[in-house]
Structure 1
Amino acid sequence: MKEYSELPLREKNIVLIGFMGVGKTTIGQLVAKKLYRDFIDVDQEIENRHHMSIPAIFEQMGEDYFRKVERELIVDLCTNKRLKVISLGGGAYLQEEVRNACLSHCIVFFLDLSWDCWKERLPLIVNNRPVLKNKTLEEIERLFLQRREAYSIHNSRLLTNDLDPETAANQIVESIKWTWEVYESNE
């Protein structure tokens, strides 16, 4: 069997990264449907396996435990699965091992959103995001900017400020198909 990193580009997983609340799950589900792939939301997968919510895992077992479980799951998905669309939690990509596995074995799309557009979403997500709990707007902005630096290491970036999920998904699919064609024509 071929080494996983040597898989044809068409068989590699597509990984969506970006700050919490940018639409990775919604857009990822649409991309998966358009490419006839399975969709995996890492946070939902962890919740299913633990039979509890991410906030409950943070509260009962701690963030270190959550990050370990998250890292092991993502590395396994990246190295042992193919033809998936995978949505990472907002903090997952900060882990070097996760970043390396994603970049080595998958196509990584950064779903980017400006701070001004993102903070309009804050009231919708603040209550179910443990890392935002009890933080001021300034602290959240620092976290947003800090994580953006890690997200800057990717294969492709899509600015989603003025895009609805369907348009964003279409743009990702068009980009992927174009890349496949260019890659295959150069083989």
Structure 2
Amino acid sequence: MGTYSNIPLRERNIVLIGFMGVGKTTIGQLVAKKLYRDFIDVDQEIEKRHHMSIPAIFEQMGENYFRKVERELIVDLCTNTRLKIISLGGGAYLQEEVRNACLSHGIVVFLDLSWENWKDRLPSIVHDRPLLKNKALEEIKQLFELRKQAYSQHHYRVATDGLDPETVAIRTIELIRERNTN
């Protein structure tokens, strides 16, 4: 559990983390609708501000540039906004500054999908994920396991195997409400 800043729990942003393709955007939109909050997908926000896709940013400006922009946006959102549902890109949470900002100012929910279930999604997500292009399944599994270590620092974990996005959204809200009313 991270150390909270002085923002009241009910006003904190809810930050969704997890591996790429786990459903953070879909679930985040559902949670936002149910809680009457604004939804921010960090990757979509970066694309909007740069007028280009994430793969194009990676290709033209490099991953280091992208990670810097990503880090600055997330830290700003975590420290200067409230009552948002924020979906992070799969690699954002590996940055210590991002993790610290999310854990201390928000409520971090790890959407956990097993490797076996995740790899079934690979064909449908590989085309717009620069880090998956031209990688063997074993390399992707190593990335999956590496990131899972970073994701282990969270406030709540929701196992998503075999669940539809609606059920995951409801479980996420129930878990946060249940733990924060005691």
Shorter-chain TM-score tier: over 0.9
Counterpart of 1:93 in 2: which secondary structure? Answer: helix
Partner SS for 1:132: coil
Structure 2 equivalent of residue 36 of structure 1: 36
Kindly provide the CA deviation profile for residues 30-59 of structure 1, in whole angstroms up to 9, marking residues without a partner as x. 001111100000000000000000000000
State whether residues 156 and 176 of structure 2, in contact with CA within 8 Å, keep that contact through their aligned partners in structure 1. Answer: no
1:106-161: CA deviation from partner (whole Å, max 9, x where unpaired): 00000000000000000000010001111100000000000001000100101101
Which residue of structure 1 lines up, in the alignment, with residue 179 of structure 2?
Answer: 179
One-letter identity of the residue aligned with 1:63: E
Matched, 1:90 2:80: no
1:145 to 2:145 alignment:
yes
Give 1:7 deviation, angstroms.
1.2
Within 5 Å, give how 1:113-124 maps onto structure 2: 113-124=113-124
C-alpha distance in 1 between matches for 2:67 and 2:16: 18
Distance in structure 1 (CA, Å) of the matches to 2:137 and 2:178: 39
Please state how far the C-alpha of 1:179 moved relative to its aligned partner: 2.5
Mapped pair 1:128 → 2:122: no
Superposed, which structure 2 residues align to 1:1-187 within 5 Å?
5-182=5-182
Which AA in structure 1 matches 2:158?
A: L
Structure 2, unaligned runs of 5 or more: none
Structure 1: which amino acid aligns with 2:107? I
Partner of residue 185, structure 1: none
> 2 CA distance for matches of 1:96 and 1:87?
17
CA distance in 2, matches of 1:179, 1:36: 20
SS in 2 for 1:56: helix
| Matching residue's letter, 1:23 | G
Query: Does the residue aligned with 2:181 lie in a helix, a strand or coil?
Result: helix
Larger Rg computed on CA atoms: 1
- Residue identity opposite 1:114 in structure 2: S
| In structure 2, distance between residues paired with 1:20 and 1:73 | 18
